[in-house]
Amino acid sequence: MTTTRFLTGITPSGTPHLGNYAGMMRPAIAATRTPGVENFYFLADYHALIKCQEPERIHRSTLEIAASWLACGLDPEQVTFYRQSDVPEIPELHWLLTCVTGKGLLNRAHAYKAVQDKNAEAGREADDGVSAGLFMYPVLMAADILAFNAHKVPVGRDQIQHIEMARDMASSFNHLYGEHFTLPEAAIEDNVATLLGLDGRKMSKSYDNTIALFCPPEQLKKLIGSIVTDSRAPGEPKETEGSALFQIYQAFATPEETAAMRRAFAEGIAWGEAKQLLFARIDREIAPMRARYDDLMLHPEKVEAALQIGAQRARALAQPLLQRLRAAVGLRPLSATRPQAQGAHKAGKAQLPAFKQYREADGKFYFKLVASDGRLLLQSTAFDAPRDAGQAIARLQKEADALQALAAQLAPVAGVDAAEVTAALQALAAAADA
């Protein structure tokens, strides 16, 4: 069975609330039990430094979020759960990627442009308040992904650009130094549940309308009691559409319980009674997890131990990759250089032909096949997406008739006959099977 590697980052920036749990945490933890899927979850504490310069807040939030995920059922033995700053290979890869990434690409990043637009509206200098960390954020995010050659990255539509930029950086590196990186794909989360908050708007810390996931029962009851409702009296039918109370209940209830609450709304249930039912339903699900959370907060060494298990697993994958990347860019021990007599041939395994995928100034994606001596053997025409170019390369390496099947997407190179191209593809296939 082919394994698909998913990677998700969680920035430690506050205390998790019910909206975080229903929208991301609960479905993500359920997904870890899917066969054929390898999951990576990391606390993006380096990313947190971009917006927050309060050490204690970052430290506390890291503990709260890690403890919350563990309390909700994330199994550190089944997933790779780690703290970003515990994997030094990530910032090292960040630098390697920085050296192949054009400034023009980073200029187009949405977060950077948003700050510039806000500055323009206020009549300030374009880069006022822009740190190098904010500007380089997409490169660090790419390093997070590429350090483990993740296949899929679950993101909302507003984050798609970051995945596309990671693909661009991976393609640039592969073009210069050989095929080292898998090109990641965005796993679009269109169906993420969005809970309404206490005031009827989206539950968000920025609106100060949240219900903390593991607040004490008495506080939970008080917050639920403050959910804004309309003025309909007991006995008057009530609308479920647009009701924050009903929507939150639905996020925790079974279909049968939801149907019963819908009938109760139609029959004119009193708001106080409905809020009591909501409290009881949420607390029933949360209470066992709250007990685990409270224990973890009292014993942070348990959380640290879980994160270190993940860090060891993460580094076991990242270290060999970074060793190969260092060698690829020329950062090798000097002892690896072997002087050769004039006219001597390089000993050891013969160098193979190689595919190189890249992006041109027209925004299109291309690939070429070069011989072991660097001669161009095959050139592609333009592809709209890097994935399409990558799929064509895969076919050429695996399918015997791919040259003929893809003829319309290939541009013959003058002075190179088909037999030489075929021989190069056969050499790659033989090496892959060896």
Average of per-residue pLDDT across 299-328: 96
Residues forming a β-bridge with 379: 368, 411
Give the domains, in start order, of the chain with CATH numbers. 4-194+300-325 (3.40.50.620), 215-288 (1.10.240.10), 354-433 (3.30.160.160)
Give kind and range of the element (H or E) at residue 42: strand 37-43
Q: What is the pTM of this model?
A: 0.75
Would you give the end-to-end CA distance of the chain in angstroms? 20
pLDDT band at 125 (very low <50, low <70, confident <90, very high): very high
Q: What is the pLDDT of residues 30-66, one digit of tens each?
A: 989 889 999 999 999 999 999 899 999 999 999 999 9
Other beta carbons within 10 Å of 258? 16
pLDDT of residue 156: 78
CA distance 237 to 423: 77
CA distance 281 to 198: 17
Chain length of the chain: 434
pLDDT of residue 347: 40
